[in-house]
Amino acid sequence: MPTEASSVPAASSEETPLAQSFAATRALSEALVEPLSDADATIQSMEDASPAKWHLAHTTWFWETFLLRDHVPGYERYDADWPFLFNSYYEAEGARIARFSRGLLSRPTLGEVLDWRAAVNEAMEPLLSDPACKDLIRLGIAHEQQHIELLLTDIKHALWHNPLGPAMWDAAPGPSAPAGEQGWHEHPGGIALVGHDGSAPDEAFAFDNEGPRHRVLLEPFALADRLVTNGEWAEFIADGGYDTASLWLSDGWAWVGETGARAPLYWREGEAFTHAGWQKRDPHAPVTHINYFEADAFASWAGMRLPTEFEWEAIARGQDGSASATAHDACAGNQLDDAAAPAPRGGKELFGDCWQFTRSAYLPYPRFRPAAGAVGEYNGKFMSGQFVLKGASCATVRGHSRASYRNFFYPHQQWQFTGLRLARDL
């Protein structure tokens, strides 16, 4: 993946960290689509995924709507017809095209969208130092960082449908080192503090669904010190994992029956599909692109269980940027790691290889209140039927990961970099 400084606006010495972060995030979005043609950026492979161009435009719509329209007197929209195309799901912001029609938007072109982005970036400049906009800008940056990850996973899904197996980038060099025997992070249980404290003055940004910070009661438990690997998953398959009803949740077994699933998404004989095309599968790398049903069945097979989101967070706290003095620095380091296709590597870190399923449903924390207005539609309205995932994946923007972050997906979804870290009772 190209990370040339040239594509990132140079931060002048006077720039605030927020302005730097804005500029870097916007630049990263654009750097990621450099290997894509207008057509690549237009296609949509399923209703859950959006075209790359749509991500570029939707994030721009967000800035134009909630910042420029609402905070720049007399601002006129770049194109009055585009909000209908690029609103995602904000009911308060009016009608929008059906989700699955996003893949039919050959116009505006990728070039026109990039022009719009440049115009919005320029118009944003005065607001970047306006204290009244600080919170919304931090939200907008976080929002665009999320879409950067979706852009990466959505385009991977789209390219995978092409029998030619197109690559966006070169693969990272060499296979991983053996993962080694799995150890455990042990925890004695008791009262723990979880969630993000939005009211702390120097606290880094967090979404509304990460708070309020509150106490939970934990039983003694242990969390694996590394992720489950492709090699271990192959053993699960060889042992009849996908043929053994007793390992599966009822809905999961139905999903196996309907889809005929026999392996994670993107696997084929000895290979896995990546942003670098079809590649030899690395047995030492963390398994990814599994869904909740698969993660839960594997844990049953292994005689273990999935952790709760609170167990995971109790182990992670202290290891993430949000609790450290360098939080803002971490947020500013908003480049993906390397100049190659995102791929999980070590598996030892809590953050950065893949999202890890918890057995916690995605539900509101005590005293949770969504923000007022359209931006309040951000997180709360998705609180049914989904599970929480913790950590961050190889496609997550650095600095966007923290212990309190709550990602969430439906139990059948596989197209994210989703993996598995085991837990057990003590």
Rounded to a whole number of angstroms, the minimum distance from the CB of residue 115 to a copy of itself is 15
Rounded to a whole number of angstroms, the minimum distance from the CB of residue 134 to a copy of itself is 26
Q: Is the CB of residue 276 less than 8 Å from the CB of residue 167?
A: yes
Window of 62-70, 87-95, 126-134, 330-338 that interacts with a copy of itself by CB under 8 A: 87-95
319 counts as binding a copy of itself under rule CB under 8 A: no
Residues 6+ positions from 49 with CB-CB distance below 8 Å:
150, 153, 154, 157, 158, 415
Residues 6+ positions from 366 with CB-CB distance below 8 Å:
212, 214
Rounded to a whole number of angstroms, the minimum distance from the CB of residue 399 to a copy of itself is 28
Interaction mask 297-316, a copy of itself, x per CB under 8 A: --------x-----------
Pairing state between β 418-419 and 355-361: parallel
Please select the residue that binds a copy of itself; options are 73, 163, 188, 260, rule is CB under 8 A.
163
Please select the residue that binds a copy of itself; options are 56, 128, 142, 158, rule is CB under 8 A.
158
Rounded to a whole number of angstroms, the minimum distance from the CB of residue 179 to a copy of itself is 28
Which residue lies nearer to a copy of itself by CB, 10 or 39? 39
Rounded to a whole number of angstroms, the minimum distance from the CB of residue 158 to a copy of itself is 6
Please select the residue that binds a copy of itself; options are 63, 116, 233, 293, rule is CB under 8 A.
293
38 counts as binding a copy of itself under rule CB under 8 A: yes
Please select the residue that binds a copy of itself; options are 39, 118, 193, 339, rule is CB under 8 A.
39
Window of 125-133, 159-167, 341-349, 396-404 that interacts with a copy of itself by CB under 8 A: 159-167
Q: Indicate the angle between helix axes 250-259 and 292-301, nearest 10 degrees.
A: 110
43 counts as binding a copy of itself under rule CB under 8 A: yes
Amino acid at 347: G
Pairwise CA distance, residues 84 & 88, whole Å: 9
Interaction mask 328-367, a copy of itself, x per CB under 8 A: -------------------------------xxx-xx-xx
**Residue that the structure tokens 């944003």 belong to:** 124
Q: Is the CB of residue 416 less than 8 Å from the CB of residue 153?
A: yes
Alpha carbon 116 to chain centroid, angstroms: 25
Query: Could you give phi then psi for residue 159, rounded to 5 degrees?
Result: -65, -30
103 counts as binding a copy of itself under rule CB under 8 A: yes
377 counts as binding a copy of itself under rule CB under 8 A: yes
Please select the residue that binds a copy of itself; options are 105, 139, 148, 343, rule is CB under 8 A.
105
45 counts as binding a copy of itself under rule CB under 8 A: yes
Ramachandran area for residue 405 (φ above 0: left; ψ -120 to 50: alpha; else beta) = beta
6 counts as binding a copy of itself under rule CB under 8 A: no
Rounded to a whole number of angstroms, the minimum distance from the CB of residue 284 to a copy of itself is 30
- How are strands ordered across the β-sheet holding 423-425? 184-187, 221-224, 423-425
**Residue that the structure tokens 């799995």 belong to:** 182
Which residue lies nearer to a copy of itself by CB, 268 or 381? 381
Binding-site size, a copy of itself (CB under 8 A):
65
Rounded to a whole number of angstroms, the minimum distance from the CB of residue 287 to a copy of itself is 20
Rounded to a whole number of angstroms, the minimum distance from the CB of residue 40 to a copy of itself is 4
* Cα 46-50-53 angle, rounded to 5 deg: 140
Residues 6+ positions from 312 with CB-CB distance below 8 Å:
223, 350, 356, 358, 390, 391, 421
Please select the residue that binds a copy of itself; options are 107, 262, 268, 280, rule is CB under 8 A.
107
Please select the residue that binds a copy of itself; options are 6, 37, 259, 326, rule is CB under 8 A.
37
Please select the residue that binds a copy of itself; options are 191, 200, 238, 325, rule is CB under 8 A.
191
Footprint of a copy of itself on this chain (CB under 8 A)?
37-43, 45, 81, 84-85, 89, 91-92, 97, 101, 103-110, 158-159, 161-164, 166, 191, 214-217, 219, 245-246, 248-253, 292-293, 296, 305, 359-361, 363-364, 366-367, 377, 381-385, 387, 411, 425
